[in-house]
């Protein structure tokens, strides 16, 4: 029986924040490490490495996912979005990022990228959540600095703002 080489490299190609990218990795490399080390997407933070804290959350095909619980080879030919993709590098912040800044929804910032990626996905699926629904969604994220209240405020503000953009203009 032939022994399997566990350190062999595999070229993983994906669409990262809308751009075709690729890099070699070992079959057991985590997506979080691949993004940071292989592709230079250092906005994705690694906290617990057990899928508990949410700091490493990215979007895979538009759905929030823990990158520390996903192998890089699992995202072959898929779309991965990181916090760097929420706005253009030379453009303004997204409305969600601006609401986070206005509401002081970040302090040390370690958890913020993962929270933003989850909130962005959640608001697409649930455009007008209740405050309790936002709190429930955030229960999968650990933040030691903010106490969550400013984060909830920022998400609710973003949802309300987006709702005004979606509603037809009232006739006079």
pLDDT tens-digit readout, 32-72: 999 999 999 999 999 988 988 999 999 999 999 999 999 99
pLDDT score recorded for residue 166: 83
The per-residue DSSP string of the chain comes to -PPP-TT--EEEEEEETTEEEEEEE-TT-BHHHIIIIIS--TTS--SSSSSSS-TTEEEETTEEEEGGGSBGGGGTTSEEE-GGGSS-TTSPPPHHHHHHHHTT--SS-TTHHHHHHHHHHHHHH-SS--HHHHHHHHTT---SSS-SHHHHHHHHHHHHHHHHHHSPPPP-
Give the confidence band of 169 by pLDDT, cuts at 50, 70, 90.
Answer: low
* pTM reported for the whole predicted model: 0.90
Tens of pLDDT, residues 79-103: 999 999 999 888 899 999 999 999 9
pLDDT score recorded for residue 26: 96
Task: Report the top-level CATH class of 95-165.
Answer: mainly alpha
Task: Report the top-level CATH class of 10-82.
Answer: alpha beta
Domain layout of the chain by residue ranges? 10-82, 95-165
């Amino acid at each position: 029986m032939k022994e399997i080489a566990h350190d062999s490299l595999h070229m993983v190609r994906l669409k990262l924040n809308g751009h075709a990218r690729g890099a070699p990795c070992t079959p057991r490399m985590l997506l979080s490490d691949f993004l940071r080390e292989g592709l230079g997407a250092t906005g994705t933070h690694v906290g617990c490495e057990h899928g508990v804290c949410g700091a490493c959350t990215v979007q895979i095909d538009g759905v929030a996912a823990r990158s520390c619980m996903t192998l890089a080879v699992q995202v072959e030919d898929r779309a991965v979005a990181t916090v760097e993709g929420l706005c253009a590098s030379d453009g303004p912040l997204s409305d969600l990022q601006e609401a986070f800044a206005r509401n002081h929804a970040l302090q040390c910032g370690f958890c913020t990228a993962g929270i933003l990626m989850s909130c962005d996905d959640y608001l697409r699926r649930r455009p007008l959540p209740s405050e309790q629904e936002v709190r429930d969604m955030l229960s999968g994220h650990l933040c030691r600095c903010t106490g969550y209240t400013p984060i909830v405020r920022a998400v609710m503000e973003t949802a309300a703002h987006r709702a005004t953009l979606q509603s037809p203009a009232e006739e006079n």
